[in-house]
Amino acid sequence: MTTVFITGCAGFIGYHLAEHLLKQGHKVIGMDNLNSYYDVRLKLDRLDNIRSSGEFTFYVGDITDANLLDRIFTEHKPEIVVNLAAQAGIRYSLENPMAYIQSNVVGFSCVLESCRRHPVQHLVYASSSSVYGNNAEVPLSLNATTDQPISLYAATKKANELMAFTYSHLYDIPTTGLRFFTVYGPWGRPDMAPLLFTRAIMEGKPINVFNFGQMKRDFTYVDDIVDGIHKVMSNAPISPIEPLDAASLRPARHRLYNIGNNEPVTLMRFISVLEDCLGKKAEVRLLPAQPGDVLETHADISDIQRDFEFSPSVSIEAGLSRMVEWYRDYKKYSKTDI
């Protein structure tokens, strides 16, 4: 049994990962600040499910609270840390930029410091496909440039990658960053298109489709994401034989991977599949692109396939069908505003 510390465990991906690991027999320590970025009741309902799944200990708190992190690391001695806590959302970063600096930069630095003071076997952290910006070369390869982010959210995720590399280089902390590509599924975030569109279509309200629908996304079902995280977290990067460059004092035990479906779909096809699942047509309102919107994402997943035999298996048709089925059931008993 492995003790895994998951930050952001009441969030969408954190919830699914915690439930999966508990069912596999691992001990999970969870932490979440339960902020009001979207309806807290959804997060509390996720936590109720996690608590019934296995040996789970939960802390309400923020990753910027260095004293609380130190207490958790001292008491529970996690072997693996998965940092999923972050201020999410690209458009919200235009309204409240300091929330991103505080959570995604200051908070992540506190997590890194805790891993330095309390050595762990592996730190896995969430990055994002948004670091690629509007890179025209698709599929998006790990070798592509990521020095021109077009949103503050993307900039903070790129900062996380640089910070993790530095801590790996200086303190020999094994770290792996995962660039997630548009994750969707049951218990998803209500601020993202899959659930925003689902709710609007069911209620007969128009949906806003930006850039006049001319966008592609590498939609990735959450179970495939969790499978990838689990495979990666169990295999910490080992030191290369040689330093990464002549100036390095030691090799850096740091890796990056894209984790996506590798089959992007146009936004209009996504809407069409969702209409089929709901049995109802959408009223589409075509609008110009918004600041920070990436036009196309398509993950080159050859590295994670090679190293971990990662193979996403859920099609957009199957994934949206499962999401809609969950949403209908959830709305029957929950008062959550999603």
What whole-number distance in Å separates Cα of residue 249 and Cα of residue 247? 6
Name residues whose C-beta falls within 8 Å of residue 143's C-beta, 6 or more positions apart in sequence.
none
**Whether residue 153 lies in the annotated active site:** yes
DSSP letter for each residue of 237-305: PPPPSS-SSTT-SS---EEEEEES-S--EEHHHHHHHHHHHHTS--EEEE-PPPTT--SB--B--HHHH
Which of these is catalytic: 37, 153, 221, 257? 153
Nearest-CA neighbor of 81 among 69, 93, 64?
Answer: 69
The answer to whether 304 and 260 are in contact (CB under 8 A) is no
- Residue (of 246, 307, 317) closest to 277 by Cα position: 317
CA 267/CA 252 separation, integer angstroms: 39
Q: State whether residue 5 is helix, strand or coil.
A: strand
Catalytic residues: 153
